[in-house]
Amino acid sequence: MQYAEQLLERFLTYVGFDTQSKPSVKHSPSSIGQLKLAEYLAQELRALGLSEVEINSHGILTALLPSNVKHAPTIGLISHLDTSPDCSGKNVRPEVIENYRGGDIALGSGEEDISPVDFPFLHQFIGKTLIVTDGTTLLGADNKAGIAEIMTALFVLRQSEKPRCNLRIAFTPDEEIGLGMQFFPLDKFPCDWAYTIDGGEVGELEYENFNAASATVTIHGCNIHPGTAKNKMVNALTLACDFQQSFPRDETPETTDGKQGFYHLNGFSGNVEKAELHYLIRDFEQQGFEKRKNFITNAVAEFNRSKHLKVPIELTITDSYHNMYDCVKKVPQAIKLADAAMRACGITPLHKPIRGGTDGAWLAEKGIACPNIFTGGYNFHSKKELITLEGMQNVVEVIVKIAELAVKK
């Protein structure tokens, strides 16, 4: 398939849209750039000949590529429009490195680099075409690579006369802040199962993810001039530090991997008068998930009891998403088809759990099995993000093969 140049051009165009999601905004899409990209993609989809191209009031773009045979199944393909709030996505200036020769990759002015010492996977990319940033922003491969791969696969399928299944397409906003999917138009996305194109290294096939919740602990203090504070001041910052000490130090993101859960203190703000601690709670098993939420609840109760505070500390816990596996295991053909497509393309499937979540987790709660397929990208959410053109081509080939194999008996 001769489409590499088109695939690269699409990707470089999409990363030019500033679509960073904004956690402080409580409506979706949280940034205007996501809507602008959705509108641009809608024009492309119509030009490709897709039908039912619609953008709803929350910036979710849906479309249909009909099958060219009768009685074909319908499979969904999803990628998200936004980039992470962890790193700027404004004025992205990608750099294309052809025939990578190995060694350190200097980004832009050279203040940032990507070294094989820190990232040994670079050794497998000798001779390949790499796309990196200039070291001032993230690249946006998460998830504009997924969008470019889906769009290019649709182009390839439209040019082919081979039998294919129906493909439902959805491009969604605010995946990175867990906001967009609550407005997802399920009635516009009827399918037998779906795939998010939102994974990392080539071959990844993921269908288990964390159960996830967020927790906020609010601590109230009393601010008195330090010179006369004895037996009067209640320092909320000091109390917050004391509270954090009650958590197990070996159950954090930096000390766990695989299917090990964790507590993650990812925000600490305030002053003497008031402090807030923001936590992420993650566990693959439902029983462990509930145990972790109970741990924080009990820690707050014990802290209030032992400190005899005039104003008790407060806790709010909100579930974010749940493990998709219970839904996916009821539709084993979703995994078998992706496996078969990868193997047909010469790719060894890598089954692994997601230490995070995807839009597929929300769909699974609604009864649509939605495993996650690789994009070919690495170092997401950072200035050292990169992707290979060859890896992106692999995804296009897998999507095309999925559509073709789905109609074979």
The set of catalytic residues is 82, 175
Amino acid at 403: A
Q: Residue 217's beta-bridge partner residues?
A: 277, 315
Residues in the chain: 409
Q: Residue 265's beta-bridge partner residues?
A: 279
Q: In what order do the strands lie in the sheet with 95-97?
A: 95-97, 130-132, 386-388, 377-378
Residue found under tokens 């138009």: 185
Amino acid at 235: N
Distance CA 57, CA 28 (A): 9
Greatest pairwise CA separation for the chain in angstroms: 84
**Which strand (E) or helix (H) includes residue 328?**
helix 325-328
Distance CA 211, CA 179 (A): 16
Tell me the angle at which helices 141-159 and 4-14 cross, rounded to the nearest 10 degrees: 140
304 in Cβ contact with 312 (< 8 Å): yes
Question: How does DSSP assign 120-167, residue by residue?
Answer: GGGGGGTTS-EEE--SSS---HHHHHHHHHHHHHHHHHHH--S---EE
Distances in Å between the Cα of 287 and the Cα atoms of 261, 283, 291, 323, 324 are: 12, 9, 6, 12, 15
**Which strand (E) or helix (H) includes residue 47?**
helix 32-47
Give me the numbers of helices (H) and strands (E) for the chain, helices first please: 9, 18
